[in-house]
Amino acid sequence: MNARAPKGTSDLLPETARAWEYLNRTAQGLFARYGYEPLYTPAFEHTEVFTRGIGEATDIVNKEMYTFQDRAGRSLTLRPEATASVVRSALEHGLVPRGSSTKLYYAGPMFRYERPQKGRMRQFWQIGLEVLGASEPSVDAEVIMLLWRYFEAVGIPTENMRLLLNSMGDDECRPAYRDKVAGFIRSEATGLCEECNRRLDTNPLRTFDCKNPGCISVMAAAPLLRDELCGPCAQHYSEVRTSLETVGIPYSEEPRLVRGLDYYTRTVFEVQADAGLGSQNAIGGGGRYDRLTEVLGGRPTPGLGWALGFERTLLAMRAAGAKIPAPPLADVYVARVDDTVAAEVFVATSNLRDEGIAAEMDHLRRSLKAQFKQADRLGARLVVVIGPEESALGEVTVRDMQSGEETRVRIEALTDAVRARLG
């Protein structure tokens, strides 16, 4: 038996799991201020939710999906991302009544069969949000601002990040542009890698994203969609930029930013951070997808959102020395002098916990000295000592681990005494 976690996955050990919970708590606090509600979709979906939603010509669908047949022969896929799932769920449950908009957020593991490297996993964790039903450019700016504010809130310094912005156009202007790029690429085909040549007909715009030096140098001269946007797309893009400027969100236009999912229309964006990350430096990204609902069988409903990667965000936070709160595992340790008071210790510890105080006791028959050591390891501010002598008088000793001060208190007054000392 292979007792190691599968390649590209990792256990979130307590320190990392605590960071994941902290990132979730921070998200929940911030998202509540912007009116988002949680939505949790299944970890797997019918495969066509992703093939149709994300696009047949994308790397994700072509190479990276964990697809399997269940026992009834259905084709199912572990979600490589959650946007298609959220839209599927919103359609199924009618979450976007006509004329209204809905704001949803999610968090959880995603699965992509990628070549693992620093910041690139096969199972990774995302926090994301989607707004369905709203088409105004102000909502694009709000959504982008929220991503930026989130990274600030978890302690990534502004100077370590850059926000890249682009417009992918829409069904009016993109097809002609796509043909133009395909024509351009065809004329330069000898300079391009095999992969970019192969997807010339299916997805020429992906060539903008290729890391091959030959492709990068060819694409430096490629026509840019920014210059070919139709009037309404250009107007939308301009208003998004103006709104971002009015609230002081610093962005850079990146006319070659295409992103790896086919559902995008108009605004796309990505936040990159260099410190702590290698080539996988996109800590979060997203965009608008005004056609996705129709592609999945619904009536036309605009949508947009983003997702951030937990592993990469954590790398960027660590590189910046960001603090992740690590509360002590116990505020109070209840120590037992000998076995005759075992029941009193158990009851006192339970009562403290019932009163909302983080309390711990010994379950290993440690000596009193070893119990004090354990209390120290757990970070306990107070140690409550119960011995036969105290017990006979209905009292306990409370020791302040910082000042060393000891006081006797009545057992029934323990909670109040502890609370007063913890502040």
Residues that bind ligand HAM (CB under 6 A): 81, 83, 112, 114, 119-121, 124, 126, 128, 130, 260-261, 282-287, 305-309, 311-312
d(C-alpha 410, C-alpha 406), whole Å: 13
The least CB distance from residue 312 to ligand HAM, in Å, is: 4
402: amino acid identity, one letter: Q
The residue (of 109 and 214) whose beta carbon lies closer to ligand HAM is: 109
Which of 148, 167, 128 shows the shortest CA–CA distance to 251? 148
The residue (of 85 and 415) whose beta carbon lies closer to ligand HAM is: 85
Q: Judging by beta carbons within 10 Å of its beta carbon (0-12, 13-18, 19+), is residue 259 exposed, middle or buried?
A: buried
Helices (H), 154-277: 174-187, 194-198, 213-219, 231-246
The least CB distance from residue 329 to ligand HAM, in Å, is: 29
d(C-alpha 369, C-alpha 367), whole Å: 5
Token duo for residue 370: 């070893």
The least CB distance from residue 68 to ligand HAM, in Å, is: 19
The least CB distance from residue 225 to ligand HAM, in Å, is: 18
The least CB distance from residue 309 to ligand HAM, in Å, is: 2
The residue (of 261 and 335) whose beta carbon lies closer to ligand HAM is: 261
The residue (of 41 and 349) whose beta carbon lies closer to ligand HAM is: 41
Q: Output the residue with the shortest Cβ distance to ligand HAM.
A: 309
**In sequence order, what DSSP letters do the residues of 43-65 get, joined into one string?**
SEEEHHHHHHHH-TTSHIIIII-
The residue (of 283 and 341) whose beta carbon lies closer to ligand HAM is: 283
Q: Judging by beta carbons within 10 Å of its beta carbon (0-12, 13-18, 19+), is residue 173 exposed, middle or buried?
A: buried
Q: How many helices (H) and strands (E) does the chain have?
A: 15, 16
The least CB distance from residue 261 to ligand HAM, in Å, is: 6
Token duo for residue 141: 């700016």
The least CB distance from residue 4 to ligand HAM, in Å, is: 19
d(C-alpha 421, C-alpha 416), whole Å: 9
The residue (of 270 and 362) whose beta carbon lies closer to ligand HAM is: 270
The residue (of 144 and 283) whose beta carbon lies closer to ligand HAM is: 283
The least CB distance from residue 260 to ligand HAM, in Å, is: 6
The residue (of 120 and 162) whose beta carbon lies closer to ligand HAM is: 120
Q: Judging by beta carbons within 10 Å of its beta carbon (0-12, 13-18, 19+), is residue 16 exposed, middle or buried?
A: middle
